[in-house]
Amino acid sequence: MHTWNAGQILTVVRTVNKMDIDYLGPDESSQNQMLIQFMNVALWKLARLMYNTEISDVLTVSGDGPVTFQKGQAAITNMFEPLRIIDVNTGSEMPKRPAYTSARGWYCESPNSKIDIRGFTGDFELHYIRYPRQVTKSDDPVDCPETGYQALIAEISAMVKDVKNFYDESAAMEAKAKAGYSVIEQAAQSARGPSSGGLPPSFRDVDRARGG
């Protein structure tokens, strides 16, 4: 569960860009709708860093060929990246084929395409990264770790500056956003646990916090 919803993040965006918000529309409602679309563009751009993972429903594979994995009994349509396919009965991981013509394993050609399986039968789950959920209103949750709020705010602000044709200010905001990418990546790494006892902060963590 993330701390801030879309409206809370956009309140900060409005404060950061208080001299430019009027360029987005004649009233607060139309401005907010544009800001929400900017937020979605930024979230989808950073889908890999946001690292929202899911596990599919169990799929029974009875032979070679393309298969469609489902989530909640509906075909998965929001997959950014497949991570692994697991045999639920043995816990073993199906190997990924290095090429389509390889003999055994799974192969995926493009986002949301069917996954081709060869040489395996049984019950399987797909582990995958999904795109952040689309934000449509201010009280929607935002699929961004708290460490990424600053970068997300800067990404949205860069687009606000573009509307006004303030390209230098936009580039500065984009640079500020990029400086925050490393702490988003660190959140995904740290969630896995670095060791059995944990590790204290290091100088490398300081570099990441600085955007290095």
Q: Quote the pLDDT of residue 112.
A: 75
What pLDDT, in 10s, does the model give residues 70-90? 999 999 999 999 999 999 999
Q: Quote the pLDDT of residue 96.
A: 96
Q: Which residue has the higher pLDDT, 212 or 189?
A: 189
Q: Quote the pLDDT of residue 154.
A: 95
Q: Write down the mean pLDDT value for the chain.
A: 90
What pLDDT, in 10s, does the model give residues 138-182? 999 999 999 999 999 999 999 999 998 888 988 999 998 888 888
- Torsion, Cα of 81, 83, 88, 94 (10° steps): 110
Answer yes or no: is pLDDT of 9 > 80: yes
Q: Quote the pLDDT of residue 131.
A: 96
Q: Which residue has the higher pLDDT, 131 or 209?
A: 131
Q: Quote the pLDDT of residue 187.
A: 78
Ranges of each domain in the chain: 9-46+135-192, 52-130
Q: Quote the pLDDT of residue 201.
A: 56
Q: Quote the pLDDT of residue 195.
A: 59
Sequence-ordered list of residues with C-beta below 8 angstroms from that of 168, at least 6 positions apart, any chain: none
Q: Which residue has the higher pLDDT, 204 or 98?
A: 98
Strand ranges, E, within 52-165: 52-55, 59-61, 65-67, 70-71, 74-75, 79-87, 93-94, 105-108, 115-118, 122-130
Angle, in degrees to the nearest 10, between helices 167-179 and 149-163: 170
Answer yes or no: is pLDDT of 1 > 80: no
Q: Quote the pLDDT of residue 24.
A: 94
Q: Quote the pLDDT of residue 200.
A: 55
